[in-house]
């Protein structure tokens, strides 16, 4: 009986040990769980890594080699020196890493090698990006290879291998691509004739061209039309040399961006779907026949900065205009150009339906100097003004307030471009109202009645407690009937002024306020 019991306990222990081994085997994975994920999921994970790391992982197994040859997003802009793998189990990875040197020529060799191992029938390229110093023939070969792989997004920034004045010819194989949806080129490209451009880019929805050469090609001024770009939604042109006139009339266009086209003389934009438009540092400031024409009924956001006032401006109103930021200028002239003043009037008329408006300092200078007429902004709720708050700008500010009868938010960014006019407030005449500026503001109350009855928030940035700033602040507090908040953001000042500022602030709190709900914050 004793022997039988011992044998029974022994068999129980064996059974328990077998059960524990089976449980441990279930808990311990026998396969690589990441490798079992679908290709699309792993590709999405690999997008978070530089391409050099993705390439190194190709030596881990047949599965990872297949993933590397089917990886759809090839961003070679991340190629930088990286630690070489030196372990015994990764000799292949080490040799592979040594071949990826950051020099442009070796980069191109690597890109060519990557494209050559892909099967053009099954392994399309979604994104191809690279930055390199390259010659004409190698660049064309790379682009043709990418087009054969049905690339959808092509982002290239190149420069010639030699210090010459030569330029690249625009790759014509790109024009007829049926797969290409996004094209971004940055280099000295010469555009092909309009006859070739006319029937291309049938699938392109985003185009960005920088450093494009357009000298002696007037026919290309009308290349952005429905036949050449039937589905184009986003267009960006930057540093287009030789571009003097351009007409943009793509029926599907939603976003237009023109930058640094310094030789531009005429701009014609007609787009029923354009919602966002940005034009900066454009137009020839020394040309006497510059003009702009815009017919964009669905425009919602307009940025117009560092542009000279054109001689002619035709700007159709957009009832949907939400935000506009305007910063144009005029060259100093001995005689006022009346045509440009009328052009400025017409341009502001096109902004009459805006809900939010930002005016740069140079624009305020034009309004102050030439008394440009502005139609009332009846829909305007937010007005931001960048100004030096000089004495000669006071009338322009009052005119803008008068033209904004229903705004509830006013932001003043004080530009300190003339410290000589920023006089300190004289505390001895704090309670007196016989200063010239105070008299002027008081005289404007009848015409500013609607403005003062709607204004709720005032924010002044760069506030230094100078006379003109305190005078305006005092006026708004005294007559702002529904004012809720006034925020005064301190500008740069010397530490010695701290005590004086504290005294001025305490006196400011003693002003008579029209609104019992108003609060003043000093930041």
User: Per the domain annotation, does 128 fall within a domain?
Assistant: yes
> Tokens 């690339």 correspond to what residue?
151
Pick from 483, 479, 482: which is nearest to 512 by CA? 479
pLDDT attached to residue 16: 66
For residue 342 the two structure tokens come to: 């009328």
pLDDT attached to residue 27: 52
The span from the CA of 47 to the CA of 74, in Å, is 9
8 A C-beta contact, residue 256 and residue 248: yes
pLDDT attached to residue 93: 39
> Any idea what DSSP says for residue 516?
T
8 A C-beta contact, residue 343 and residue 374: no
As a three-state string, the secondary structure of 100-116 is CCCCHHHHHHHHHHHHH
Q: Which domain covers residue 147, as residue numbers?
A: 37-166
User: Per the domain annotation, does 257 fall within a domain?
Assistant: no
Q: Please tell me the pTM assigned to this model.
A: 0.81
Domain count, the chain: 2
The span from the CA of 485 to the CA of 18, in Å, is 77
User: Per the domain annotation, does 498 fall within a domain?
Assistant: yes
User: Per the domain annotation, does 463 fall within a domain?
Assistant: yes
Q: Which of 151, 166, 181 is the last residue of a domain?
A: 166
Q: Tell me the pLDDT of the chain (523 aa) as tens digits.
A: 444 444 566 666 666 666 666 665 555 555 556 666 776 777 777 777 777 777 777 667 676 777 777 788 888 887 753 333 333 444 443 344 333 333 466 777 788 888 877 765 557 889 999 888 777 788 888 888 899 889 999 999 887 554 445 577 888 889 889 999 999 998 888 888 877 887 788 999 999 999 888 888 877 888 898 888 999 999 999 999 999 999 999 999 999 999 999 999 999 999 999 999 999 999 998 888 999 999 999 999 999 999 999 999 999 878 899 999 999 888 766 556 778 888 988 999 899 999 999 999 989 888 888 777 788 999 999 999 998 877 778 888 999 999 999 999 999 998 865 554 555 555 544 454 567 888 889 999 999 999 999 999 999 998 877 778 888 888 999 999 999 999 988 876 555 566 667 777 777 777 778 888 889 888 8
* Residue 382, beta-bridge partner list: 356, 409
Reduced to 3 states (helix: H, G, I; strand: E, B; else coil), residue 398 is helix
User: Per the domain annotation, does 373 fall within a domain?
Assistant: no
Between β-strands 182-190 and 485-490, what pairing exists: parallel, antiparallel or unpaired? unpaired
pLDDT attached to residue 334: 52
pLDDT attached to residue 12: 62
Q: Which of 118, 149, 166 is the last residue of a domain?
A: 166
8 A C-beta contact, residue 204 and residue 231: yes
User: Per the domain annotation, does 83 fall within a domain?
Assistant: yes
User: Per the domain annotation, does 261 fall within a domain?
Assistant: no
Q: Which of 121, 145, 166 is the last residue of a domain?
A: 166
How many Cα atoms sit within 13 Å of 295 on the Cβ side? 9
Cβ atoms < 10 Å from Cβ of 217 = 16
User: Per the domain annotation, does 466 fall within a domain?
Assistant: yes
Cα angle 520, 395, 383; round to 5:
50
């Amino acid at each position: 009986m004793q022997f039988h019991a011992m044998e029974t306990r022994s068999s129980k222990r064996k059974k328990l040990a077998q059960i524990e081994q089976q449980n441990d085997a279930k808990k311990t994975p026998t396969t690589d769980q990441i490798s079992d994920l679908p290709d699309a999921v792993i590709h999405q994970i690999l997008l978070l890594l530089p391409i050099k790391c993705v390439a190194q992982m190709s030596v881990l197994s047949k599965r990872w080699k297949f993933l590397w040859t089917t990886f759809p997003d090839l961003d070679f802009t991340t190629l930088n020196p990286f630690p070489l793998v030196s372990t015994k189990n990764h000799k292949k990875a080490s040799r592979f890493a040594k071949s990826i040197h950051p020099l442009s020529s070796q980069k191109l060799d690597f890109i060519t090698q990557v494209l050559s191992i892909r099967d053009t029938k099954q392994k399309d390229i979604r994104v191809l990006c690279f930055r390199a110093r390259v010659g004409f023939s190698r660049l064309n070969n790379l682009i043709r290879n990418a087009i054969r792989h049905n690339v959808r997004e092509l982002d290239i920034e190149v420069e010639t291998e030699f210090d010459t004045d030569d330029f690249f010819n625009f790759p014509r194989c790109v024009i007829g691509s049926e797969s290409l949806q996004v094209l971004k080129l940055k280099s000295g490209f010469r555009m092909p004739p309009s006859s070739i451009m006319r029937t291309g880019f049938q699938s392109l929805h985003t185009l960005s061209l920088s450093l494009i050469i357009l000298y002696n090609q007037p026919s290309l001024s009308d290349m952005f039309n429905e036949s050449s770009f039937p589905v184009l939604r986003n267009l960006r042109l930057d540093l287009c040399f030789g571009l003097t006139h351009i007409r943009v009339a793509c029926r599907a266009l939603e976003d237009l961006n023109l930058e640094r086209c310094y030789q531009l003389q005429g701009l014609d934009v007609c787009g029923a779907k354009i919602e966002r438009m940005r034009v900066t540092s454009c137009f020839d400031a020394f040309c006497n026949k510059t003009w702009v024409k815009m017919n964009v009924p669905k425009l919602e956001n307009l940025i117009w900065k560092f542009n000279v006032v054109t001689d002619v401006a035709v700007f159709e109103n957009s009832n949907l205009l939400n935000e506009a930021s305007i910063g144009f200028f005029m060259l100093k002239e001995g005689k006022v150009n009346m045509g440009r003043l009328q052009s400025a009037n017409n341009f502001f008329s096109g902004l009459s339906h805006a809900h939010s408006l930002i005016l740069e300092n140079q624009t305020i200078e034009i309004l102050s100097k030439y008394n440009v007429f502005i139609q009332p902004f009846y829909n305007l709720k937010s007005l931001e003004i960048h100004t030096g708050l000089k004495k000669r700008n006071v009338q322009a500010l009052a005119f803008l307030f008068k033209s904004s009868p229903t705004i509830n938010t006013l932001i003043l960014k004080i530009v300190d471009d003339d410290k000589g006019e920023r006089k300190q407030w004289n505390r001895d005449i704090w309670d007196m109202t016989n200063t010239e500026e105070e008299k002027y503001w008081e005289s404007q109350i009848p015409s500013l009645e609607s403005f003062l009855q709607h204004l709720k928030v005032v924010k002044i940035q760069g506030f230094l407690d100078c006379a003109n700033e305190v005078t305006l602040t005092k006026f708004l507090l005294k007559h702002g009937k529904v004012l809720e908040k006034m925020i005064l953001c301190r500008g740069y000042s010397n530490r010695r002024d701290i005590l004086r500022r504290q005294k001025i602030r305490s006196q400011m709190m003693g002003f008579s306020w029209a609104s019992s709900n108003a609060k003043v914050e000093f930041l």
